[in-house]
Amino acid sequence: MSTALERVMDAIDIETYLVCRDANEGRMLALKLGQELNLGDVDIMFEEFDGYGIRLRLRKYVHKPGSRYEWLNLSSNKNYQQGE
Amino acid sequence: MPKKILCVPLDPVHDVGIKLIKSALDKRGHQTELLSPDLTMEAIVKKAAAGNYDFILVSRTLGYGVAELLARFNDLLDAAGIREKTKIVIGGKPVTPELAAELGFDKGFGANSSTEEVIAYIEEREINDSSSSVQKIKKNLAEPYSYKFFHSEIESLLNSIADKFIDWGKNKTSPGIERVRLREEILHAGDKNIQQALIKKYNDLSDAEIAQGNVKKIYPKGVREVTAEELDSLESFLRSQKSAGQLKIQHSDKHPLIFKFLGSGCPLMDIAHGKVCERWGIDGFLIINPSWEARYEGLLFGNLTHENDGTITSLENIRLIRRSLDPSTLLTVRAHRGLNTPETVLLAGKAGADLTKINLVYGSLGAGTDPIRLGVDGLEAIRLTATYGIPFDIPGNDELSGVPAWKTLAGLLINVMVGVKLNAKPILKPLFCYGPHIVLNSFMEKNFIDYNAAKILALREIVDCPIWPGEPIAFMTQSEERVQSANATSYHASLAASLGVDAITIASTDEAYSRGPIAITSRIDSIRAVTDAFRFVGDAGFKLTPEAEKYKNDLIQKIIEVLRAVDEKDNLPEAIYSGLLGDQNDGAYPGKFGAGTVSNKVR
């Protein structure tokens, strides 16, 4: 069965703004957000605390180079063709 | 047969789109009428009912409450019996086919739709893809250039330096050169037994880690063979997934070609990224190899994938990437790092790559190869570029260690003269960067334009040679912040366009993020940014301040001083060892890989 995650070519980036007291809390919340979204451990690519909250760019790799890419089977697997 | 069409701007402000469509339809011989934008819906419906139209084209930017307004408009058309004989079409920036259907329209066109698509729909025919898509033609970057030197003293110094260097290297050989001979024989050997014997000799001349991979398939950490199933899947993927119309980044024919790096570690991922980037208009790619390859004598054979940075340099990998990319896409393979420089050029040539990358100076200072070894290997590699007719680009990335621009540019010019003397086609690659030496000396305190421009102006005053700033442009001005990174790239790209250079290499918006591979969305980010920048700058340009001229003159004077000092040495490697083209204070150290491996040719 094809999932949307399997179709992610490489990575999911999340850009958001979390209201927080300081940068440390912001970072902690960023990592918690990854868990709450069922993405597991996410990497904080960029962070910028401005006093009110933290501006974030988070990344989760779904397919890293050298791994097996499910999307590569898009055309050779019937289930994928049907988008199931 | 001409159609009767009523054009209805339901938007009091945004009616440019429908005017353009009307004009295109008129040129095709259709009978169109454009209503004024201040009519009530009832008045429009009355007009529509009286006219017996084939199509009603409605233009409206969607916003709050507009869906209800359009639904009411459709209800009025229904009530008047118009919808039975007339197709109702909506166009506007956020319109999608799905949204148009949801709102009760027969068809919808949005921001990404072309006039040709609208006309094709009206004329009830398939869209002619070739007319809306850009046809790309492969460009030879070196072709328009004469390689004529304009500065007599610099030309004379370079002649002397290059002659001495070529003479110094003429009776020398290295394991890298021996292997390139063997590789040629392996590739041409018809008999399997002879081929196996040659491969054995090749592996004997390679380091154990490489020979072990080639013989026993025990590879360095993180490397594995690409399976036959993966290769089959790739073929199917490439057959089934097609570009949704080729885009072009350049707004003018004078704008530079745009290159990106590939080198995720996996040729399959590189190809997937490459195909997507091609669609967005990228003109060429540079394959970057793993840093560990530089340390080993010999290259691995086969289609191999690697979990870490850098795609393995094998004939099969280069061929696979070349074959999978569009024939118009330029491909360059980095050769100057490490102990396999001539062999990499051979493989690039055999696999159909278009360019290769060699810098005899930077390769000895920033990448760890012994200057004598790279000198000997580099001469052979440059000869091979001439044999295979592939230009070589000379990246000035030693500036990133802290080497002053004039030393880097002097190094680039030495490479150019050596290339010219060996009948090769060199390409200058000065950096557009905020390098450490520039920061320390405040050369870019007032702006990022003058000093970058001065490098180009200086080189142009010295030699008629292609110029391709890199590598990538905007180095050390980009952060992990997406918009900032895209902006920095696009500003530097605009400067490059303004200066009329031949090509540029652009980063992705995650280039400054070093903890993981480049992602495809980040690649598209910077392509989009540069496309917009080129549209913005068009055939206009940046105005340099008088500082640029001063910087240019200063660079030329200091290049002359560097070349005079290099010319006092017996040969180029000696000049590199003595720090004339970058010393320890500049953060440049002569490399050690391959030290003591050069020998005299057996006569």
Q: Measured between CB atoms, which of A65, A73, A75 is closest to B269?
A: A65
Give the pLDDT band (50/70/90) at residue B128.
low
Contact A43 B307 (CB under 8 A): no
| Lowest mean pLDDT, pick from B21-35, B86-100, B135-149, B359-373 | B86-100
For residue A46, list chain B residues with Cβ-Cβ distance below 8 A. Answer: 479-482, 513
All structural domains of chain A, each given as residue ranges with its CATH number in brackets, are 5-81 (3.30.30.60)
For residue B271, list chain A residues with Cβ-Cβ distance below 8 A. Answer: none
Q: Distance between CA atoms of B512 and B434, rounded to whole angstroms?
A: 14
| Lowest mean pLDDT, pick from B12-16, B117-121, B353-357 | B12-16
Residues B440, B399: contact at Cβ < 8 Å? no
Residues B287, B321: contact at Cβ < 8 Å? yes
| Paired residues of A13 in beta bridges | A59
Q: Is the pLDDT of residue B29 over 80?
A: yes
Residue B137: exposure state from Cβ atoms within 10 A (0-12, 13-18, ≥19)? exposed
| Residue recorded with tokens 């000997």 | B376
Contact B237 A65 (CB under 8 A): no
For residue B303, list chain A residues with Cβ-Cβ distance below 8 A. Answer: none
Contact B239 A75 (CB under 8 A): yes
Give the pLDDT band (50/70/90) at residue B367.
low
Q: Quick one: closest CA in A to B227, which residue?
A: A68
All structural domains of chain B, each given as residue ranges with its CATH number in brackets, are 4-132 (3.40.50.280), 173-586 (3.20.20.440)
Cβ count near B139 (within 10 Å)? 16
Q: Is the pLDDT of residue A78 over 70?
A: no
Q: Is the pLDDT of residue B65 over 80?
A: no
pLDDT in tens, A27-71: 999 999 999 999 999 999 999 999 999 999 999 999 999 999 999
Higher pLDDT, B83 or B573: B573
Substitution target from A43, A67, A75, A78 for chain B, most B beta carbons within 10 A: A75
Q: Kindly compute the dihedral angle of the four CA atoms of residues B545, B548, B554, B559, in this order, to the nearest 10 degrees.
A: 180
The per-residue pLDDT for A76 is: 64
For residue B239, list chain A residues with Cβ-Cβ distance below 8 A. Answer: 75
Size of interface A-B (CB pairs under 8 A): 86
pLDDT in tens, B104-120: 889 998 877 888 888 98
Using CA atoms, how far residue B320 sits from B34, B235, B304, B348, in Å, is 54, 10, 11, 12
How much of chain B, in percent, has pLDDT values that exceed 70?
A: 98
Give the pLDDT band (50/70/90) at residue A81.
very low
| Lowest mean pLDDT, pick from B50-64, B228-242, B274-288 | B50-64
pLDDT mean over B266-275: 98
Residues B346, B180: contact at Cβ < 8 Å? yes
Q: Is the pLDDT of residue A80 over 60?
A: no
CA distance B263 to chain A (A): 10
Q: How far apart are the first and last CA of chain A?
A: 6
The per-residue pLDDT for B599 is: 95
Q: Measured between CB atoms, which of A57, A59, A76 is closest to B236?
A: A76
Substitution target from B239, B287, B513 for chain A, most A beta carbons within 10 A: B513
| Residue recorded with tokens 């409450």 | B65
Residues 6+ apart with CB under 8 A from B375: B165, B168, B169, B360, B364, B571, B572, B573
Phi-psi category of residue B336: left, alpha or beta, with phi > 0 → left and psi -120 to 50 → alpha = alpha
Contact A43 B232 (CB under 8 A): no
Interface ipTM > 0.90: yes
Give the pLDDT band (50/70/90) at residue A82.
very low
Q: Measured between CB atoms, which of A11, A57, A72 is closest to B234?
A: A72
